[in-house]
Amino acid sequence: MRVALVVATSPDGIIGKHGEIPWHLPRDLKRFRAITMGHPIVMGRRTHESIGRALPGRLNIVVSSRTGWKPEGCVVAHSPDEALRIAAESGAEEAMVVGGEQLYRYVLPICDTIHLTVVEGRFDGDARFPIEAIRPEQWAVERSEQWPSDDRNPDPHRYEVLRRLAPG
């Protein structure tokens, strides 16, 4: 099974502040839905709580150390490895890791694809994506789209699909 990350970040790696995304980009939310629909999504407990519900049309796997915690419409895993095993056992060809910070750090060295949205601007935040760990010699930009701000999407941003290069 392939593993992909789906992340929106500022250029300096900010992904959240007090459990919320520090920008509002309907265009990117629509893309997130299209990318993840029909795939298992893996997220940490705090990411699930920030979303507030299971996302329809996807197997929602939440990584949490809490025993006995069972959010409606979700499968709970107690480690990232267990979450990826559950996704693989579902028969999926690809699992989508959608946050948060700790899960991104764990999965980045083993993922095959990154769906990366970079939101231009400076944002305050307390959750980070290790954007500095994306080394150009390890990744090929398969697709890149630049989006200016508009009435519904106030922050300019770019979307890229990065594929891990084969070793050697």
Q: Using one digit for the tens of pLDDT, what is the confidence trace for 1-53?
A: 999 999 999 999 999 999 999 999 999 999 999 999 999 999 999 999 999 99
Please give the pLDDT value at position 18: 94
Q: Which of 52, 57, 63, 7 is nearest to 32 (CA)?
A: 7
Q: Does the structure show a pLDDT above 70 at 90?
A: yes
36/132 Cα distance (integer angstroms)? 24
pLDDT band for position 166 (cuts 50, 70, 90)? low
Please give the pLDDT value at position 54: 98
Give yes or no for a contact between 115 and 161, defined as CB atoms under 8 angstroms apart. Answer: yes
Q: Does the structure show a pLDDT above 70 at 168?
A: no
Please give the pLDDT value at position 76: 98
Please give the pLDDT value at position 137: 93
Give yes or no for a contact between 154 and 132, defined as CB atoms under 8 angstroms apart. Answer: no
- Topology at the third CATH level for domain 2-164: Dihydrofolate Reductase, subunit A (3.40.430)
Q: Domain locations in the chain?
A: 2-164
Please give the pLDDT value at position 167: 59
Please give the pLDDT value at position 6: 99
* Tens-digit pLDDT profile for residues 99-153: 999 999 999 999 999 999 999 999 999 999 999 999 999 999 999 999 999 999 9
Q: Which of 104, 156, 112 is nearest to 131 (CA)?
A: 104
Lowest pLDDT segment from 53-57, 64-68, 154-158? 64-68
Give yes or no for a contact between 100 and 43, defined as CB atoms under 8 angstroms apart. Answer: yes
